[in-house]
């Protein structure tokens, strides 16, 4: 009979009163409606951008981590054409027909890492069934693509933001 010992691990959890909670109107918006609770109100920066922004100055418009500056919609190339070319290239990368580097300039570095991980994972090129494009704000586009991969139908969710006079993919999720 062997006896195994289990090492005890202690996990530090602060007790009530040890850490003051940082509650404001951004992380608890429903509390702002309460008549007796006063919360500090911080202003949001214009648009719905996912570019990395420091927490100290959310209204900053300077280039952070190479994300570039937000570009107004009038200065951007045609949305539907840009998205269809990006999706076609992405599908060909999944099938191993293209190199991921071809989409590096049009992708955020985090998205590019996802593309590299998914490159060549499919034996055949997935078929694009339908592309749905919505624009929740100026210079921001959210896209859903339905793909047929062999016998299955999968969804691809993409988010594009106008940056440096081009559409930059800032989020990619294959469902």
User: Over the stretch 56-94, which tens digit does the pLDDT of each residue have?
Assistant: 444 444 444 445 677 777 888 999 999 999 999 999 999
Q: Which residues lie across from 163 on neighbouring strands?
A: 70, 166
Structural domain spans, the chain:
73-174
Q: Say whether pLDDT at 116 is over 80.
A: yes
pLDDT tens-digit readout, 6-54:
454 545 555 555 555 565 555 556 656 666 666 555 443 455 555 544 3
Which CATH number fits the domain 73-174, given the four candidates 3.10.450.50, 3.40.50.2300, 3.40.30.10, 3.40.190.10?
3.10.450.50
Q: How far is CA 50 from CA 27, 30, 94, 100, 168, in A?
A: 17, 23, 24, 22, 11
């Amino acid at each position: 009979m062997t006896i195994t010992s289990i090492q005890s691990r202690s996990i530090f959890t602060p007790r009530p009163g040890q850490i003051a909670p940082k509650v404001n109107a951004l992380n608890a918006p429903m509390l702002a409606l309460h008549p007796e609770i006063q919360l500090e109100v911080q202003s949001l920066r214009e648009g719905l951008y996912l570019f990395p922004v420091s927490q100290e100055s959310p209204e900053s418009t300077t280039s952070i981590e190479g994300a570039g500056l937000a570009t107004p919609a009038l200065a951007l190339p045609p949305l539907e054409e840009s998205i269809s070319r990006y999706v076609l290239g992405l599908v060909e990368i999944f099938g191993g027909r293209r190199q991921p580097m071809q989409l590096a300039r049009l992708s955020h570095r985090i998205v590019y890492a996802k593309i590299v991980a998914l490159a060549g994972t499919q034996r055949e090129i997935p078929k694009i069934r339908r592309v749905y494009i919505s624009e929740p704000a100026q210079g921001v586009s959210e896209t859903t693509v339905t793909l047929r991969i062999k016998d299955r139908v999968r969804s691809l969710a993409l988010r594009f933001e106008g940056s440096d006079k081009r559409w930059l993919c800032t989020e990619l999720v294959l469902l």
